[in-house]
Structure 1
């Protein structure tokens, strides 16, 4: 599973509707397989990328040994064990897939690892949990670090803080550095959704755009057991209302001529807030589609962090890390 023609290979678990996969693809990774248990999400992946090897299976049952030697092992393991809504049970939560993620890292032996989760994982309560994961990775020959990353820092019109773990084989770690925030202008909700809001002839779209002049709160997808097609708990709905959005449910289409009141988001609008490409199609009914959107890792964030990993694997960039003699090289990304 080694890279061919300088193309880096990746295996992703808990792939969802493809947010992380899209970003990593843009960063230069060729997906040898994407593992996802949700049928609707698998259909979305297959619809948009027929060439991808989508494996519809439970990660707990997945055997990583056939994929030995990939460049990157990535994934967004379920967040309920570390979220407030999920009661933050951590190791004691049967939904915790970090043990299986570590098993698969050991089976596949990648050069790099990237795993994302909710902000709650970065709390003091889980400090020991994070250390244990780094310790296990160190035993497998990796050096790594955790970082709290905000999607808004990378051009996404949404706050969306996420806990990111990046680890690389010791030979590559000196070349990795967390990317700084993008220099792109931060887009407000109004700027991001204006074209959609006016697409059906709503005369109030321009005025709405001026009101929705801030970054969105975190999109919440809900689980299969709890939550539906709405924009989250009471606090989130209140934040959306301040932006001129009714978060109690989703609309089937943008507001039309003569619409009065507070507009709702469509699934497509939510996807734009998450940073998905306009052409990406979500399969399934509205609630199933929205859950795919809400639970996703924003593609622009995955692209930036994936790009930093790719550069490290090619030993292209130089960073001032104490005690390490660095080589000087220029990446293709820098040249462009």
Structure 2
């Protein structure tokens, strides 16, 4: 199906948008409130219409091209329960998710795609949020599908589970199928990073890659209010150490030929972190090292976005061929 158009809010560094682009979608508008993320989007796709604005301040009436698109996609900040986060942080995360849902009233896309934490799909602490979402979308004639995907099943060398909501207008809803895994064997960190580890002549690259046999733990971007970049909390750092990686900091460049071949723990670069998120090597990130890593850690892996985009596209294409069995004519 050609000519599919989408609006992407809370676009970040473009992980979801670039995946949807691979699936044949063209963006009408990409919105994010962080200047460095918008710079990244423009750096990679100068032709994209990128708007630097908080979603809570966005007025679709001022951007009429956003109306009646095929897909509204959103990757808002991960919602957290009040038991694990400060109240003000939790409230803002929930407000952004709710704002993304409420955009369907004015934009009226044929499909909505929201990516967030796995717990949003079924965890009891998020039942009130799910109830809000159901009421808003079913009232508009959408039917909801909730499911969890692991990025490792789509060729991303990372154990990264994502909670996904796909809502489609009724004529398309029964035609949607969540994407199936695209790989039979998960890619290990060693497989993904061997080439980059050897790029500057480090003689230990082969030995390092041969023992880094697991997928990566989930990359986390961390808070803008926290210090420098690292690869996660204590438990995650221990998992990295078992693969010969120092998870406490990032390197400015990959190891050179002068590095001791027996060095116990190697630091990753932000470019290597991007490979572990499934970004293509040519995708560039704006800002300083910590800002680049945070964009990467917060991103949705492009291969997952591509798989979701293809699944949505297939449903929209099938539904556009004419009324389906069981279709009532409501939309």
Q: Please report the TM-score for the alignment, with normalisation by the length of structure 2.
A: 0.91
What residue is the counterpart of 2:284 in the other structure?
Answer: 281
State which drifts further: 144-153 or 226-235. 226-235
Distance, in Å, in 2 between the alignment partners of 1:316 and 1:183 is 28
Work out whether 1:114 is the aligned partner of 2:109. Answer: no
1:162 equivalent in alignment to 2:162: yes
Q: Is 1:68 matched up with 2:67?
A: yes
Superposition pairs of residues 255-334 of structure 1, within 5 angstroms: 255-260=255-260, 261=263, 262-315=265-318, 325=325
In 2, Cα distance between the equivalents of 1:86 and 1:302? 28
Residue 140 of structure 1 deviates from its aligned partner by: 1.1
Unaligned runs of 5+ in 1: 319-323, 328-336
- On the 8 A contact 1:83/1:121 being kept in 2, the answer is no
CA distance in 2, matches of 1:83, 1:110: 31
Question: Partner residue of 2:91?
Answer: 93
* Corresponding residue number in structure 1 for 2:171: 171
Distance 1:275 1:102 in 2: 27
* 1:1-336 map, 5 Å: 6-65=2-61, 66=64, 67-82=66-81, 86=85, 93-96=91-94, 97-122=96-121, 123-260=123-260, 261=263, 262-315=265-318, 325=325
Quick check: 139-148 or 254-263, which moved more? 254-263
| 8 Å CA contact 1:46, 1:54 repeated in 2 | yes
CA distance in 1, matches of 2:181, 2:57: 37
Structure 2 distance, partners of 1:119, 1:149, is 8
- CA distance in structure 2 between the aligned counterparts of 1:183 and 1:116, rounded to whole angstroms: 21
In structure 2, distance between residues paired with 1:180 and 1:317: 23
Aligned equivalents of 1:183 and 1:279: distance in 2? 23
- Describe the SS at the equivalent of 1:175: coil
How many Å apart are 1:316 and its aligned residue? 6.9
Shift of 1:84: 7.3
Distance in 1 (alpha carbons) for counterparts of 2:58 and 2:165: 21
Asked if structure 2 preserves the Cα contact closer than 8 Å seen for 1:81 and 1:90, the reply is no
The 2-side partners of 1:30 and 1:254 are apart by 35
- Contact 2:114 2:164 (C-alpha < 8 Å) held by counterparts: yes
C-alpha contact (below 8 Å) 2:82/2:90 kept by paired residues: no
Deviation at 1:144, TM superposition (A): 0.9
Q: What is the CA-CA distance between 1:128 and the residue it aligns to?
A: 3.6
8 Å contact kept, 1:78–1:117 = yes
Offset of residue 102 of structure 1: 1.9
* Alpha carbons 1:202, 1:255 under 8 Å: kept: yes
Alignment partners' CA distance in 2, 1:249 and 1:271: 15
1:90/1:171 CA distance change after superposition, 3 Å: farther
Gaps in structure 2 of 5+ consecutive residues? none
Moved over 6 A (4+): none
Q: TM-score, normalised by structure 1?
A: 0.89
